[in-house]
Structure 1
Amino acid sequence: MSRRYGGNPAATIILIIADVTAVILILWIAFFLLDANTANDLVSWVHHAANWLSGWSRDMFNVKSDDWRTILNYGLPAVVYLMIGHAVAGRVNRS
């Protein structure tokens, strides 16, 4: 990843943070859709982290299907974090 931004360590760190954030949100979507056991420590941690990361967008969409509501309410922030993180990393690299 560091080669993508000319070895700029700040850009690499920003990319890693954006990617990890998106992975946590996407992992919660997968756990929810696959009906993972929320009593499991890993599933519980991912759920709490995803709730915190998506606090600004949760319940933005009120669709009747629980699956679609989860996909939209956690998927949107994942996409936003990726877009912003990659845009900021590109900008940092140009500085």
Structure 2
Amino acid sequence: MSSYRKGGSAGTVIAVIADIMAFIIGLWILMYLLDANRANDFVQFIHDSARWLAGWSHDLFTFDEAWARVVAGYGLAAVVYLFVGHAIANRVHRL
């Protein structure tokens, strides 16, 4: 029974980390769409963090509209982090 709890807490940590990563990316998408002030330190921090997290999917799509590239590229990363993170968390919960 104690091993189940260890797996459960590790799975919870993995799920929370995946959620935070997706939240940061989603927050950047929202800030971009609402034309947040990029000179603001908080906005810059979120942008830098999201760009690092979504580095593999940034500029993956070549839509003509910049907003569509941001939503598709960053959105894909957020969905992948949620899907993969929660799949791993569920797998760890079963251990």
Name 1:15's counterpart in structure 2: 15
TM-score (norm 1): 0.92
**Cα deviation 1:63-89 (Å, max 9, x = unaligned):** 001111100010000000000000000
The higher relative CO (CA closer than 8 Å, separation ≥ 6) is in: 2
Report sequence identity in percent: 51
Look up the equivalent residue of 1:64 and give its one-letter code. D
Unaligned runs of at least 5 residues, structure 1: none
**Deviation at 1:6?**
6.7
Would you tell me which structure has more helix in proportion to its own residues? 2
Unaligned runs of at least 5 residues, structure 2: none
How much is the aligned-residue C-alpha RMSD, in angstroms?
1.5
Name 1:33's counterpart in structure 2: 33
Out of 54-63 and 5-14, give the one that drifted further.
Answer: 5-14
User: Within 1, Cα distance between the matches of 2:58 and 2:38?
Assistant: 19
Number of residue equivalences = 91
User: Within 2, Cα distance between the matches of 1:59 and 1:70?
Assistant: 8
User: Within 1, Cα distance between the matches of 2:50 and 2:60?
Assistant: 15
